[in-house]
Chains A and B, each alone.
Chain A
Amino acid sequence: MIEFRAVTKRFDDGTIAVNSLDLTVEAGTITVFVGPSGCGKTTSLRMVNRMIDPTSGTILVDGKDVLSVDPPTLRRGIGYVIQQAGLFPHRTVLDNVATVPLLSGWSKGKARTRAAELLELVGLPAELGKRYPVQLSGGQQQRVGVARALAADPPVLLMDEPFSAVDPVVREGLQDELLRLQAELDKTIVFVTHDIDEAVRIGEKVAVFREGGILAQYDKPSELLARPADDFVAHFVGKDRGYRSLSFVDASGVEIGTVPTVVVGEPVADAVSEWRLAVDERNHPRGWLAPGTTVDGRLAEDVLKPGGSLFEVGQSIRGAMDAALSSPSGLGVAVDPDGSVVGVVTATQVLAVIEGQRESRG
């Protein structure tokens, strides 16, 4: 658990980076600090491991005042993942990961064994251990950064915009990886980002900071999107927050309807009068056959209209809505975890469920 008690940081030039921050990060959760640049989120993070010392106030990590601990000793007990990974270019990947155990006095052999375990934990092949950071992709470097932070098994992990320098697709993979790791490791994680989407995606709680180092709202992501505390937060979480908040709505009430299907590579018997879903022999969706299309002989892929996004049963209602809206037929394709078609949903049905939930909440 990390507690900020009336923490203020005023820099020498007089700017107030953090203004009387009171906040508790619960043990075993991911808490995200988010806000525009200059809002004090990174300063707040760096005060936890004394990269910056507060002007006034107290920070407790597991009940202990951080100012009472010698900084290097304190830092060896707190994992830290920095932007652009910050790997040591002159050390192999394995030695990078072994850094903190070696600093803490472990033997070289034991530290390297531990480092190899960590590489496996973050999903990197063992042979990467012998390489140097420059030989790795950005995403791989960032995984090594996470492995290095976890090497001494610290209870607390600080992550300072760790995924901001990688491209969006890789970033999403790293976020998923972090959530998977956290389910396994149960660390107390503080994660700083300026990206509200990233914040609501990975945070169990999100602290929104505003300029001048003021905490604007500290809440669960669903609450943040549904009930922003003021105009600043409402503006910061964005115009489509209503849509994004659907990520936190359960989709079990959405009824999945049936749809006529045709199989790619087989003849289509009758005239096509309504939208039909084309599937392959494994029942995976391939696209849509539009009404009025004439099929000469066997159904070829090139007459199909490309399909929209897929709604995997069990996902949030946002997935169901998106599938319906992005489908050329207006019918969102629902699939099971293996990717086989189970049926279709419509936007009207999804809206009805959302409306129904609103009424039941009163």
Chain B
Amino acid sequence: MGDLGKYLSDAGTRGAIWQMLLEHVYLSLLPLVISVVLAVVLGWVCHRYGWFRGALLGTANIVYTVPSLALFAIIPAVIGTQVLDINNVVIALTVYTTALLTRPVSDALDAVPVHITAAATAMGFRPLRRFLTVELPLAVPVLFAGLRVGSVSNISLVSVGALIGTGGLGVLFTDGFRSRYLAPIIVGIVLTLLLALLVDGLLVALRQWLTPWNNLKGAKA
């Protein structure tokens, strides 16, 4: 523990850790935001066109089984980025998270009761407005369940990116292992855990703010 105090007492180290934390947030949450948009589009396609569903969700499953380190290495070959490009991690995690979220979004859209969508159509909603203001809001609880898994998964996977030198808190692990120094590893674990808990808490709060109607069951007049 003395080591830890000494390690953190250096202002330069603290500044570097702060920088890594910010990188980590950026690398894990940007893919989350992009994949929400992609998963909503793809989930809608699966929901709308049954024949597409099997193909797309099957692909998503396969993608999810590709090891992250392999994916980080394949992406430059596929899209021509530099091997150490930070975007490789963003793209890889976007692919994972989209693969993770597409199925729940599609399932949630399928689960919207037919009489509710029929009522919306009969009220005079046009299809896009109906999707954005009726079907999608009703899919939010399921979407957020997927997002919580995705955010935790991303925050842990970003650490792996350090192996190909993309920054983030994972650098603390690579440094610690290389120099056989425990303090940075402990700091890395604690910060990763705290970040995951914080993001999860924020997602729960956001879901509750977005869906005041959810969890009201049993509160009859």
Contacts and interface: CB of A to CB of B under 8 A. Distances in A.
Interface of A: 49, 51, 72-76, 80, 82-91, 99-100, 103-104, 128, 131-132, 134-137, 140, 148, 158
Interface string B120-147: 1111111001000010011000000000
6 contacts: A83-B115, A86-B119, A89-B213, A91-B213, A134-B219, A137-B220
Contacts, number: 73
Contacts of B115: 82-84, 86
B211 interface: yes
A88 B124 contact: no
B1 interface: no
Nearest to A127: B221
Given A72-B125, A75-B122, A83-B115, A89 B221 contact: no
Nearest to A104: B124
Interface in B54-111: none
Contact of A88 (B134, B217, B221): B134
A139 B119 CA distance: 18
Given A89-B138, A100-B124, A136-B221, A82 B213 contact: no
Nearest to B140: A90
Interface of B: 113, 115-116, 118-126, 129, 134, 137-138, 211-213, 216-217, 219-221
Given A83-B115, A88-B134, A128 B221 contact: yes
A132 B118 CA distance: 19
A89 B116 contact: yes
Q: Which of A72, A75, A80, A89 gathers most chain B CB within 10 Å?
A: A89
A76 B123 contact: yes
Contact of A103 (B113, B118, B124, B137): B124
A88 B211 CA distance: 12
Nearest to A140: B221
B119 to A, nearest CB: 3
B115 to A, nearest CB: 4
Contacts of B211: 90
A76 B221 contact: no
B138 A99 contact: no
A209 B186 CA distance: 76
Given A82-B118, A135-B220, A137-B220, A100 B213 contact: no
Contacts of B123: 75-76, 80, 99-100, 103, 148
A132 B137 CA distance: 14
A158 to B, nearest CB: 8
Nearest to B116: A86
Contacts of B212: 132
Contacts of A90: 134, 137-138, 211, 213
Contacts of B219: 134-135
Nearest to B129: A103
A82 B119 contact: yes
B116 A103 contact: no
Q: Which of B124, B137, B211, B220 gathers most chain A CB within 10 Å?
A: B124
Contacts of B125: 72, 103
A85 B118 CA distance: 11
B213 A80 contact: no
A72 B129 CA distance: 11
> Closest 6 A-B residue pairs measured CB to CB?
A86-B119, A76-B124, A80-B122, A75-B124, A132-B213, A86-B115
B160 to A, nearest CB: 38
Nearest to B210: A90
A140 B123 CA distance: 19
Contacts of A51: 118, 121-122
Nearest to A92: B213
A49 B120 CA distance: 13
Contacts of A140: 221
Given A134-B216, A135-B216, A135-B219, A88 B116 contact: yes
Contacts of B121: 51, 75
A103 B134 CA distance: 13
A186 B122 CA distance: 21
Given A76-B124, A86-B118, A132 B221 contact: no
A80 B138 CA distance: 21
Contacts of B120: 88
A136 B211 CA distance: 18
Nearest to B218: A134
Contacts of A104: 124
Contacts of A137: 220-221
A137 to B, nearest CB: 7
B215 to A, nearest CB: 10
Nearest to B212: A132
A134 B217 contact: yes
Contacts of A100: 123-124
